[in-house]
Amino acid sequence: MDVSKIHGFNFPCPIRFGAGASKELTDYLKANKLSRPLLVTDGTVAELSFFKEIKNDLQQKGFSVEVFSEMHKNPIKSDVLKGGDAFHETGRDCIIGIGGGVALDVARAIVLRVNHKRDLFDYDDLIGGDKYVTEDVPHFVTIPTTAGTGSEVGRSAIISEDESKKKRILFSPKLMARMVFADPLLTMELPPFITAATGMDALTHNMEAYLAKNFHPMCDGIALEGIALIANSLETATHRPDVESRAKMLLASLMGAVAFQKGLGVVHSLAHPLSSLLDTHHGLANAVNLPYGMQFNYEGFEARFDKMADAFGLSKNNGNRVVDHLFEMNDRLGLPTKLSAIGVEAKHIEELSELAEADFCHPNNPKPVTRADFKNLYEKAL
Quote the CA–CA distance of 76 and 162 in Å, as a whole number. 5
The residue (of 114 and 381) whose beta carbon lies closer to Fe ion is 381
**What is the SS3 assignment for 103?**
helix
Nearer to Fe ion by Cβ, of 183 and 201: the residue is 201
Question: Minimum CB separation from Fe ion for residue 180, in Å?
Answer: 18
Count other Cβ atoms within 10 Å, centred on residue 159: 29
| Closer residue to Fe ion, CB minimum distance, 105 or 201 | 201
| C-alpha distance from residue 142 to each of 15, 89, 94, 121 (Å) | 10, 22, 11, 23
As a whole number of angstroms, the distance between CA 290 and CA 326 comes to 7
Give the β-pairing of 139-144 and 179-182.
parallel
The number of beta carbons lying within 10 Å of the beta carbon of residue 162 is 13
User: CB of 272: closest distance to Fe ion in angstroms?
Assistant: 9
The span of 199-207, 301-309, 350-358, 370-378 binding Fe ion (CB under 5 A) equals 199-207
182 contact partners, CB below 8 Å, separation of at least 6: 15, 16, 17, 18, 21, 143, 144, 152, 250, 251, 254
* Of residues 88 and 166, the one with the C-beta less far from Fe ion: 166
Near Fe ion by CB under 5 A: residue from 201, 244, 359, 373: 201
Contact criterion met (CB below 8 Å) for 157 and 148: no
Shortest spacing between CB 62 and Fe ion, in angstroms: 39
The burial of 40, by beta-carbon neighbours within 10 Å (0-12 exposed, 13-18 middle, 19 or more buried), is given as buried
Q: Which is nearer to Fe ion, 228 or 267 (CB)?
A: 267
Specify the stretch interacting with Fe ion by CB under 5 A; choose among 113-121, 194-202, 214-222, 312-320.
194-202
Q: Which is nearer to Fe ion, 201 or 373 (CB)?
A: 201
Of 195-203, 292-300, 349-357, 371-379, the segment contacting Fe ion by CB under 5 A is 195-203
Task: Work out how close the CB of 105 gets to Fe ion at its nearest, in angstroms, rounded to a whole number.
Answer: 12
Kindly tell me which of 259 and 349 has the beta carbon lying closer to Fe ion.
Answer: 259
Specify the stretch interacting with Fe ion by CB under 5 A; choose among 193-201, 247-255, 321-329, 365-373.
193-201
Q: Does residue 143 sit in helix, strand or coil?
A: strand
List strand residue ranges (DSSP E) for the chain, in order.
Answer: 7-10, 14-17, 37-40, 66-68, 94-99, 139-144, 156-160, 167-171, 179-182
Give yes or no for residue 105 binding Fe ion (CB under 5 A). Answer: no
Q: Which stretch binds Fe ion (CB under 5 A): 37-45, 200-208, 311-319, 349-357?
A: 200-208
What is the nearest approach in angstroms of Fe ion to the Cβ of residue 149?
6
- Count interface residues toward Fe ion (CB under 5 A): 1
Residue 243 near residue 3, CB atoms below 8 Å? yes
Residue closer to Fe ion, measured from CB, 29 or 207: 207
Taking residues 119 to 158 in sequence order and writing x for each that binds Fe ion by CB under 5 A, - otherwise, the string is ----------------------------------------
Per CB under 5 A, residues contacting Fe ion are: 201
